[in-house]
Structure 1
């Protein structure tokens, strides 16, 4: 289905359900031209009659729909939570969204979301970097020492997530989860993202760990390398 038809379908849904809403946006993979056969319609709705924010999933004209419904105050709490975890899901949907309905607030809502995204997440303190180095080292040691295939697999998965977080947060970038790990890395550094995928893919295919270990060590090197000896947490 062409984007224009998808937008029309989303507009029909808004008109039938929230005809007087202040603003509504169609975001997600459909808007970014990254849709797959399992993609849904991500819709953010701002409606003054809503007393509390909620999320709902359902089907509409064969489309799986997920929408995020807020009033003009409640969304701020979600923005704050997204920023704390450095994964700005809601601001991203609003900032890149196609306007489905606008009673005068849509442009300002998008400007606010874009400004938040440009600002980036809160910068890691030196203490946080030290702590993250330790946890990354700890999982790396688990990965190196593991001989059981199951333990190796899940140590590698944890290592990939921690490594992507360390790379992005030390560069004051937003992070991702699941498929967004790769997308977030690509947005920051396409060459590193490609190497990141290749290195872990090589391990999963061959069980050879050296390239993964080397990549982690290279990322940690500018911050002092691996950390175990002397690390403390909570000691007074």
Structure 2
């Protein structure tokens, strides 16, 4: 049985009121591993028997674990607006890139409504970008000054996240969390992603700091004295 068929049975059993169901994540991409679950986005007016408007939960069904993200249409719009403000439209990526389980015309219309929003990319203000450069400037100084090995590595991995986010936002690309951050960075520019990551992965933190410094310069340079947050 295909994952679409399995997911349709799960929805029929647990969320029969779902008008739209979309498989996301590694199952949709065809890159599942031994520990992969099935990410499932659900939207519908009659999803819930109580007064709730959204739900995120894990369910065991027919030997698989389903990670469910369920919303009424109004709640789906609200959560998307929040995600867009934070530059991390996780639900929209699931909606537009996932595999249809059910939805038909209603799903097609919802995808059409949000496609341009995702395609246009995020719009970070000059103040936000400056604030991010300020944080990176401080982390760079901390990394170069630190002598404790554990502290240096902790700072370095935080610095990678902040630098990657600055690169993406400066180029109007959406952010990601966890494993999705390096994926978003590679989707944007694989060569720049590797140049940033390689010295960090080989443990050359001095070279990593130099690379971050170059990327910071390309994004406008250091921000420190005189900056008002």
TM normalised by structure 1 equals 0.89
Is the 8 Å Cα contact of residues 40 and 67 (structure 2) preserved in structure 1? yes
Distance across 2 between alignment mates of 1:24 and 1:96: 13
After superposition, residues 101-120 of structure 1 pair within 5 angstroms as 101-102=102-103, 104-120=105-121
Distance across 2 between alignment mates of 1:194 and 1:99: 33
**Offset, 1:132:** 1.5
Matching residue of 2:226: 230
**Structure 1 stretches (4+) deviating beyond 4 angstroms?**
none
* Partner SS, residue 44 of structure 1: strand
Matched, 1:72 2:73: yes
**Offset, 1:157:** 1.4
* Partner SS, residue 26 of structure 1: strand
**Offset, 1:99:** 1.4
* Partner SS, residue 88 of structure 2: coil
Distance across 1 between alignment mates of 2:130 and 2:102: 47
Matching residue of 2:38: 41
Is the 8 Å Cα contact of residues 44 and 93 (structure 1) preserved in structure 2? yes
Matching residue of 1:83: 84
Matching residue of 2:19: 22
**Offset, 1:84:** 1.0
Distance across 2 between alignment mates of 1:201 and 1:227: 27
Matching residue of 1:189: 189
* Partner SS, residue 30 of structure 1: helix
Task: State the number of aligned residues.
Answer: 225
Is the 8 Å Cα contact of residues 14 and 100 (structure 1) preserved in structure 2? no
Distance across 2 between alignment mates of 1:30 and 1:197: 27
**Offset, 1:109:** 1.5
Matched, 1:100 2:101: yes
**Alpha-carbon spacing, 1:160–1:106, altered in 2? closer, same or farther (3 Å):** same
Matching residue of 2:169: 169
CA RMSD between the two structures? 1.6
Matching residue of 1:155: 155
* Partner SS, residue 216 of structure 1: helix
Matched, 1:216 2:217: no
Matching residue of 1:144: 144
